[in-house]
Amino acid sequence: MPKTIKWGVIGCGGIARRRTIPEGLTKASNATLAAVFDVNSTANQEVAAQFGARSCGSIAELLASDVDAVYIATPVYLHCEHALAAIAAGKHVLCEKPLGMTVAEAEHMAAEAEKAKVKLGTALMMRFTAQHQAARKLIVDGALGKPVLGRAQLSCWYPRMEGAWRQDPALGGGGSLIDMGGHCIDLLEMFFGDVKKVSCFANTIVQDYKSEDSALAMLWFENGALGMVDAFFSIPDASSDNVLELYGTRGSVHAKGTIGQASHGSMVARLEGGAAGYDAQQSRTVAGEIEIAPEPVNPYRAEIEEFSQAILDNRAPAVGAAVGIRSQRVLAACYESARTSKAVDVL
Ligand SMILES: NC(=O)c1ccc[n+]([C@@H]2O[C@H](COP(=O)([O-])OP(=O)(O)OC[C@H]3O[C@@H](n4cnc5c(N)ncnc54)[C@H](O)[C@@H]3O)[C@@H](O)[C@H]2O)c1
């Protein structure tokens, strides 16, 4: 087995070009970028030239090459088709979130990957942000006490644009909820465990397109804690702090800007049971807050290194298909709740 995983990218012209290739695939210690494909031939050639990869003329050509793994960063309605093609070619697949359009697609992709004995990962990269891992440790170590409430927010201004697949639920699976709220729900599940019931409102109140531009989901976790996620396409970027708030019986965590594409934001903890057990670098503010500022980790690099290492070690990836399926289940319950105006169990 090689020490380095050779990667191909399907859909290299969007987030792949902006983040995952420059920050992840070309920086990871155990990965190399070998080949790319995009239907936009200009993007295809430019990305290949910029990052020293082979520009393939088709998905078939990319899959016939000797890449070990394929990162799929095409629009959501193409995830299942592209993942199944890569799996059938015997490639490991890291698929951008959400894992397909529906629970059924996500399950189908997972079943095919299992049959083909290849790994399937979900690119929910915000799990890797160092401050999120530090907050998780505070919860696991009991420093926050019993979790009671979590809030996660991710919003931006996303006006109507010609050809924007996110603006049509038939192409994106939905709008702000699935696109950005999905990250928030996933993070809260990483902190508090599975959601058992949801109640959600989703609407299009500002922008001129079919997908929802406004969504508020209330979550009830198996452990009894409550949560809320707000994701809007109708709030100007600088007006949203993209907050993360976690409350427990012994303290809380408050963050701004850790949710998003950056490597870090600001995060403080208030630990009323004392800070014993919290061993990361810490400084106390006047209000008795502890700044949570571990060495930043680039989440795109971390997700590529983790998935590559899972292949090299022949173990399950940390953010595998089960996480992607789980995310789809909660999102599906949220959309059903929004449609029916009823609380919905997560199946
Ligand atoms: N985790 C993150 O930080 C993050 C951020 C943005 C987007 N995403 C996810 O990444 C995926 C892509 O989103 P985006 O914003 O990059 O979209 P995008 O539309 O900007 O880019 C998608 C790319 O896929 C290409 N494409 C379309 N059809 C194709 C086909 N049939 N074959 C090959 N290439 C094709 C397009 O030409 C384009 O270059 C989505 O699943 C989205 O949710 C994740």
Q: What residue spans define the domains of the chain?
A: 5-126+300-316, 130-262+264-297+329-345
Pull the structure tokens for residue 74: 């095409």
- Residue 284's pLDDT is 59
Q: CB-based burial of residue 133 (10 Å sphere; 0-12 exposed, 13-18 middle, 19+ buried)? A: middle
DSSP assignment letter at 118? -
Pocket test for ligand 1, best of 9, 12, 15, 45 (most atoms within 8 A of CB): 15
Percent share of the chain, pLDDT over 90: 94
**Which two three-digit tokens encode residue 106?**
């996500």
Smallest CA separation from ligand 1 atom 27, residue = 74
CA-closest candidate to residue 126, choices 204, 181, 67: 181
116, 178 contact by CB (below 8 A): no
Query: Looking at domain 130-262+264-297+329-345, which CATH architecture does it have?
Result: 2-Layer Sandwich (3.30)
To the query of whether residue 97 is one of the catalytic residues in this protein, the response is yes
| Helix boundaries (H) for 173-238 | 176, 182-192
- Ligand 1 pocket check for 40: Cβ under 6 Å: yes
- Asked if 243 contacts 150 with a C-beta cutoff of 8 angstroms, the reply is no
| pLDDT < 70: residue spans in the chain | 1-2, 274-287
123 CA closest ligand 1 atom index: 1
What's the confidence (pLDDT) of residue 283?
A: 60
- Report d(CA 229, CA 179) in Å as an integer: 12
Q: 138 in ligand 1 pocket by Cβ < 6 Å?
A: no
Kindly state the tokens that stand for 277: 């057990």
Please tell me the number of Cα atoms within 13 Å of 50 on its side-chain side.
Answer: 16
Give the CA angle between residues 313, 318, 324 to the nearest 5°.
Answer: 130
Give the residue among 59, 63, 49 at the shortest CA–CA distance from 21: 49
- Number of neighbours of residue 65 by Cβ within 10 angstroms: 15
State the Cα torsion 234-155-144-136 to the nearest 10°. 160
Query: In this structure, are strands 290-291 and 31-37 parallel, antiparallel, or unpaired?
Result: unpaired
Q: Which two tokens stand for residue 310?
A: 């899972």
- 54-55 β-sheet, strand order: 54-55, 31-37, 5-10, 69-72, 92-96, 120-123
* 3-class DSSP assignment, residue 280: coil
Both tokens of 229, joined, read 């996620």
Give the pLDDT confidence score for residue 280 in this predicted structure.
Answer: 55
* pLDDT at res. 287: 61
Give 5-126+300-316's CATH code, choosing from 3.40.50.720, 3.40.50.300, 1.20.200.10, 1.10.3720.10.
Answer: 3.40.50.720
Question: What is the tens place of the pLDDT at every residue in 55-76?
Answer: 999 999 999 999 999 999 999 9
Give the separation between CA 116 and CA 131, rounded to whole angstroms.
36
